Amino acid sequence: MTQASSRRGGRPEPPEPLPVPVADSHCHLDIAEGPDDWAAVEAAVERAAAVGVPRVVQIGCDVRGARWASHAATRHPALLAGVALHPNEAPRLAAAGQLDAALAEIEELVRSNPRVRAVGETGLDHFRTTEEGWKVQEEAFRAHIALAKQYDRTLVIHDRDAHEDVLRVLAEEGAPDRVLMHCFSGDPAMARECVRRGYYLSFAGNVTFKNAQNLRDALAVVPLERLLVETDAPYLTPVPYRGRPNASYLIPLTVRCMARVKDVDEETLCAAIAAATEEVFGSWEAA
């Protein structure tokens, strides 16, 4: 089945609810549902809550998306926000002479809204950005690290094909108190190093993919107290719906795969994920 035909298959049926509620720690509702369709956003949040995913961290990856994330988190009690300039956005903004102004707007959103709990996703991407853009990516990454430390926000890391450089920059700058490796993509050695440094690791629907044994091997070495779960919706839809748009209500499929890898029952894993998520982002009820 092609991706296009599977996307025409419609929304998957909701999975069985989780025994303990967890949060989707990384979602892009503005992309999945559209920034101008609040009714669709509300419906997506309700579908997730119905299967035990009552809380979502909405991530903005450019200035427009960051504004939307901040507004959405203020408007809806189920949402918190993370804001940043995506690593692939930084070289484009720099080329247009707009990077400093964009970083200043990200800082203002962090400073002014207590429901913006994270600076991210930021980091390095050596897959989509060619080598001539890596220097600007790194400069933007360092600026985001400083911002997270200044305002005591969690740093949410995007790391694609740049593991060693991401760890190097974090070591050189000094990491904030809370670092979350979003959509973890490294091997067991990378996972162990992140745990050694005190970072948290979030796994997405790709951990369910047949060809993702490396991710399952990495997951296996991460202590429960350092684990989060996410969709990265509308991307990385878990098996058996790979190819269709992802959504927070499909989190139970990923959690159940994670429980099998960790050889723990769902309730134990969900409780651990819920506790770690609150350590990373704080309470949804606060502020």
Look up the CATH number of the domain holding residue 177: 3.20.20.140
- Strand, helix or coil at 51? coil
Whether 48 maps to a domain, the answer reads: yes
141's tokens: 């990454």
106-149 pLDDT, tens per residue?
A: 999 999 999 999 999 999 999 988 888 899 999 999 999 999 99
Q: How many domains does the chain have?
A: 1
Structural domain containing residue 35: 19-281
280's tokens: 């990373």
144 is in an annotated binding site: no
Burial class (CB in 10 A: 0-12, 13-18, 19+), 286: exposed
- Strand, helix or coil at 80? strand
- Determine the pLDDT at residue 9: 62
71 is in an annotated binding site: no
Whether 286 maps to a domain, the answer reads: no
CA 72 vs. chain centroid, Å, equals 16
Residues 6+ apart with CB under 8 A from 269: 224, 227, 255, 258, 259, 262
28 is in an annotated binding site: yes
Find the mean pLDDT for residues 188-215.
98
Higher pLDDT, 287 or 44: 44
173 is in an annotated binding site: no
pTM for the whole thing?
A: 0.95
> How far is Cα 118 from Cα 229, in angstroms, rounded to an integer?
16
Radius of gyration of the chain, Cα coordinates, nearest whole angstrom? 18
Whether 14 maps to a domain, the answer reads: no
